[in-house]
Amino acid sequence: MSHVMNTYARLPVAFSHGRGSRITDIEGREYLDALSGIAVSTLGHAHPRLVSAISEQAGRMLHTSNLYRIREQEALADKLAALSGMEEVFFSNSGAEANEAAIKLARFYGHKKGIETPTVIVMEKAFHGRTLATLSATGNRKAQAGFEPLVSGFVRVPYDDLAAIKAVAEHNHSVVAVMLEIIQGEGGIHLASIEYQRALRQLCDEHGWLLICDEVQCGMGRTGKWFGYQHAGIQPDIATLAKGLGSGVPIGACLAGGKAAGLFGPGNHGSTFGGNPLVSTAALTTIDVIEQDGLLANAERIGALIRQLSAEALGGVKGVVDIRGHGLMIGIELDRPCGELVGKALAAGLLINVTADKVVRFLPPLIFSEQDARELVERVTPLIKDFLAA
């Protein structure tokens, strides 16, 4: 019996090494990786520049402490600020912790305005993490069940529905922020409309609320821009990152600008590991490679190709409800639960995922090539057709 706590329904495979978009299991079988460890391995596996940057950094020093200045962290904060239009960055080790920082910032902002029980508006089907506050913000009753009492201070509304938020504003005067995934990942690849995003930004300004974008899954170039909100040309007050930020090295970040900048002082928040020299170097190198190798444009182009080829292969197939996404964040919604497709794909040498029970999800590394894309669609669409025909 395994001594690992039973928190994941694990597939019966273990990997030994990878290269680019391919990964090999301990028996020597090779797989095409269209999941990137859930949007984490931005540069694919064993990217030579990332390997050498991490190795060099490890040879100098891994960790100091946030009790001291960390040059690599300062450089990364400068870079992220420049890319995002934000002013300052707090570094964490995960997405949940980045969101914890965001929620704390929003509450702190509220208290400074004299609001004693600050409320954050959150969305149905949202996913923000597994810590108590982020679980409470998450819109999935199954994930919350058994962990009550949940953290208070959240009000939930339907996604992509401005009227619902306006209705809350009418009777609730303790709202301090709205928290939104521009594309909901775990919830089933749902996209907020551009008009909604712009109107929401305006509504937040009118009420003095912070707009928090959880970019943990859709950020770091996955949708073809650095951040999902940049497609609508809006600027949130807080944005959170993790998953793809370090291309496999655990690092998260909470970025603040506008009204949310300059709020925290020493003692208000912290992290022992956050933004240490090793993880900051990994993130800096990831960003550098994305820029030098044109991976934003690649994500946009290859993602569009996967959606187009999928639509061609699955067009008219009964049981296919929708094919949607942006860049390399893609969902194929079926009319029935389809979790068993993950095992079938694995047996066929493909790493994919199913989320929200019915949505086949692709989150390939940003280095995915046209050939990878064609191979993915050629191999996965027959599995979907067979499954629906059975």
Ligand X SMILES: *Cc1c(COP(=O)(O)O)cnc(C)c1O
Q: Is 246 in the site for ligand X (CB under 6 A)?
A: no
Which one, 80 or 314, has the nearer CB to ligand X? 80
Q: Is 129 in the site for ligand X (CB under 6 A)?
A: yes
Provide the β-strand partners of residue 88. 256
Provide, rounded to whole angstroms, the least separation between the CB of residue 170 and ligand X: 28
Q: Is 242 in the site for ligand X (CB under 6 A)?
A: yes
What does the alpha-carbon distance between residue 91 and residue 84 come to, in Å, rounded to a whole number?
A: 15
Q: In this chain, which of 72, 100, 160, 181 binds ligand X, going by CB under 6 A?
A: 181
Query: x-or-dash pattern for ligand X, window 196-235, by CB under 6 A?
Result: ------------------x-xx------------------
Provide, rounded to whole angstroms, the least separation between the CB of residue 185 and ligand X: 4
Number of residues that bind ligand X (CB under 6 A): 15
What does the alpha-carbon distance between residue 110 and residue 177 come to, in Å, rounded to a whole number?
A: 9
Q: Can you list the alpha helix ranges (DSSP code H) found in the chain?
A: 36-39, 48-60, 71-84, 95-112, 132-137, 141-144, 162-171, 194-207, 277-292, 295-314, 340-347, 370-389
Of residues 245, 149, 137, 152, the one with CA closest to residue 184: 137
Q: In this chain, which of 33, 72, 186, 333 binds ligand X, going by CB under 6 A?
A: 186
What would the two tokens of residue 309 be? 């080829």
DSSP reduced 3-state for 171: helix
Pairing mode, if any, of strands 175-180 and 183-184?
unpaired
Provide, rounded to whole angstroms, the least separation between the CB of residue 241 and ligand X: 10
Provide, rounded to whole angstroms, the least separation between the CB of residue 98 and ligand X: 8
Q: Is 80 in the site for ligand X (CB under 6 A)?
A: no
Q: In this chain, which of 32, 70, 89, 96 binds ligand X, going by CB under 6 A?
A: 96
Q: Is 57 in the site for ligand X (CB under 6 A)?
A: no
Q: In the complex, which residue's CB is closest to ligand X?
A: 95
What would the two tokens of residue 140 be? 């999935």
Q: DSSP letters along 277-306, please?
A: HHHHHHHHHHHHHHHHTTHHHHHHHHHHHH
Q: In this chain, which of 91, 127, 196, 368 binds ligand X, going by CB under 6 A?
A: 127
C-alpha torsion angle, residues 235, 160, 142, 5 (rounded to 10): -30
Interacting span for ligand X (CB under 6 A) from 76-84, 94-102, 280-288, 315-323: 94-102
Name the residues that contact ligand X, by CB under 6 A.
94-96, 99, 127-129, 181, 185-186, 214, 216-217, 242-243
